[in-house]
DNA sequence: CTTGACATAGTAATGATTACTAATTATCTC
DNA sequence: GAGATAATTAGTAATCATTACTATGTCAAG
């Protein structure tokens, strides 16, 4: 993620997602946004949906079907899909209650079945990760803020300023500057120009390593 | 579905799906089948995967991701997907046990989360269906075999023989012929030529109506 | 007021899938 | 068995959703 600018186009896209009671597809949003911004490009809609979902402003749904759908609701929830008209609604039930018939009354749907997809790390990858972790014992310790800043630096790739990082991490610029110099000391970031910081190879490794720890 | 012929191409495709421990995509299968049938077309692979899954010989997976995947396993089951290497494995656990940590040992996966998609009929469609059902009270009664045959006639569309129907319904030709004449009596099928049967408009409606009953 | 990063509109390219075509092959009927 | 009929095929074109590219435009900092 780079410096994030809330442009007019992005504001309108966000508005339309928020307004639409459901889970719009990119082309449906394009049609709606076009009424307010007739000169907007379909590519802009796609690009911004991607950027907004990476920035955590919206959620990209990974559901079956050809087209991707987007959701203004950020908290974790599941979906229910009408097999006849193909509309998709949110369903807020705990997995324990899935089988309880009560859930049917809640949504008004007549439920036929469900499909569960689990996510995890397969045995082979777990082994690989363990081996990698072993290689670099004495791994760097990062606090939460440092990890945030480092992750932002990594996703950015290019050199960026403390202000840039602040914009995407929900941290204050002074906090960011403080962490940046700490990261520089540890060799995880370098400053190729005044006020510009860039992640190092070591920084990337440290970052990926943290990502894979996953013992939450 | 029309008259179903088990061609060499289809046999090889089925073999390869059965051989492959996992959930191959169309292009992966194409690569493998090509080693045995170098002149086969990618379109043939796609077409036959579609036909075979409609005929119930294989299962088309509706999972997230760009490409569709196919599965030789016909019974209902769910999937687990490695977020690192993206392989997909079967997971045979009852929903009640989903949360039990035991399931992790079974697959060897370290599970982070899951996504549930429910299927059903939304309140609006239920109303629509109820209204339709009301219109045609005194609806025809069909036994299981008749419904099978009628469904096959419907998916075929064109006139077809009893043998054609037998091939796709796992019924014996004499059984099919018997049901065909019953359907003809009820006005749900007509015989435009000797030994050829075709579904009527009434037949289609009766078939759709049965499909929507869904009180299993 | 220049500089450089970010955004944009418009369009081309991509990847997965589906539709179309003419040719081939199997099956049925006589 | 010959001819009619229908299913299937290989090869290719078209489609659909999405992404990449390109030139141009905008904004904020120094």
pLDDT in tens, A56-112: 899 998 777 889 999 988 877 788 888 777 778 888 766 556 555 555 556 788 877
Distance in Å from D22's C1' to A1's CA comes to 22
Give the 3-state secondary structure of residue B119: strand
Q: Is the pLDDT of residue A157 over 90?
A: no
Question: CB of A101 within 8 Å of any CB in chain B?
Answer: no
Model pTM above 0.75 = no
Weakest-pLDDT range from B3-12, B29-38, B166-175? B166-175
* pLDDT per residue as tens digits for the range A105-152: 567 888 777 788 787 888 888 888 888 776 654 456 666 777 778 777
* Strand C bases within 7 angstroms of protein beta carbons: 5-12, 15-20, 26-30
Q: Is the pLDDT of residue B187 over 90?
A: no
pLDDT reported for residue B89: 83
Q: Is the pLDDT of residue B207 over 80?
A: no
* Sign (positive or negative) of CA dihedral B8, B10, B14, B19: positive
Residue to mutate among A77, A107, A118, with most B CBs inside 10 A, is A118
Chain B residues near residue A84 by CB distance under 8 angstroms: 121-122, 125, 129, 212
pLDDT reported for residue B78: 82
Q: Is B119's CB within 8 Å of A81's CB? A: yes
A5 Cβ within 7 A of any nucleic strand C atom: yes
Mean pLDDT for the stretch of residues A35-48: 96
Mean pLDDT for the stretch of residues A168-191: 75
pLDDT reported for residue A155: 67
């Amino acid at each position: 993620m780079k410096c994030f600018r809330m442009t007019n186009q992005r504001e309108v896209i966000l508005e339309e997602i928020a307004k639409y009671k459901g889970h719009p597809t990119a082309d449906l949003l394009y049609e709606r946004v076009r009424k307010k911004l007739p000169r907007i490009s379909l590519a802009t809609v796609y690009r911004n949906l991607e950027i907004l979902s990476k920035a955590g402003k919206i959620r990209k749904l990974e559901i079956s079907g050809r087209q991707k759908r987007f959701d203004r609701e950020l908290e974790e929830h599941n979906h229910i899909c009408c097999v006849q008209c193909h509309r998709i609604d949110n369903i807020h039930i705990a997995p324990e209650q899935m089988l309880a018939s009560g859930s049917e009354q809640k949504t008004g749907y007549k439920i036929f079945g469900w499909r569960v997809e689990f996510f995890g790390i397969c045995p082979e990858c777990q082994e690989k990760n363990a081996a990698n972790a072993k290689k670099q014992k004495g791994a760097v310790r990062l606090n939460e803020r440092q990890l945030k800043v480092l992750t932002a630096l990594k996703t950015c790739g290019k050199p960026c300023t403390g202000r840039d990082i602040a914009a995407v991490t929900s941290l204050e610029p002074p906090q960011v500057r403080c962490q940046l110099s700490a990261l520089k000391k540890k060799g995880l970031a370098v400053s190729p120009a005044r006020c510009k910081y860039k992640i190092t190879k070591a920084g990337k490794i440290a970052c990926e390593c943290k990502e894979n720890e996953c013992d939450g």
